[in-house]
Amino acid sequence: MRATINFEVDVDKVNGIMRHLVSVQAQELIDTLQGLKSDPDNNLLINLTETLETISGQARQLYQYREMISGFEASRIAPYLPSEESEEEASVTREVRDQTSQLVNSSQELQGVVKSVDQFGSFLDKLNEFAEPPVPGGNDDIKSEEG
């Protein structure tokens, strides 16, 4: 059988309690290292071994605190995260994404065509600049005769 208990938790209290526990553990870690520093050298191997074992236990405790804090944060944030999509929603999402991708590609192609047209227009303008100006009195009415 499974039971669920619902209760309100004051976020500031939990964060404060966890901060205090981490602080105490950190101070114990500092004290352990200070003890190693102040021990005489004649028992260095034994003291170092004991210190490393103590530090290892303290590190495990800090890892546990981290997991507790992480779990609390995840449960606090979970109600605000979107729920998992159904297969139908996922299909619609993929379809919209594909259509959007096609629109972006079409837009990019259109931009390329517009750029090409602009370049061609610039080319024609340059050709017109080099063309001979019309003769006053006009030779526009002269038709070329084929021989």
Query: Helices (DSSP H) in 9-145: which residue ranges?
Result: 11-38, 44-77, 87-130
Spatial separation of the C-alpha atoms in residues 108 and 48, rounded to whole Å: 67
Query: How far apart (Å, rounded) are the C-alpha atoms in residues 146 and 128?
Result: 26
Does position 136 have pLDDT exceeding 70, yes or no? Answer: no
Tens digits of residue pLDDT in 48-87:
888 899 999 999 999 999 998 888 888 778 777 776 666 7
Query: CA 73, CA 142: separation in Å to the nearest integer?
Result: 90
CA distance 38 to 59: 21
Angle between helices 11-38 and 44-77 (to 10 degrees): 170
Where along the chain do its domains lie? 11-82, 96-131
Q: How far apart are CA 132 and CA 143, in angstroms?
A: 18
pLDDT for 54: 92
pLDDT of residue 1: 47
pLDDT band for position 24 (cuts 50, 70, 90)? very high
At residue 141, the pLDDT reads 55
pLDDT at 15 over 70: yes
pLDDT in tens, 91-118: 777 888 888 878 777 777 777 777 777 7
Q: Within its chain, how far is the Cα of 4 from the centroid? A: 35
Q: Within 13 A of 18's CA, how many CA atoms are on the CB side? A: 18
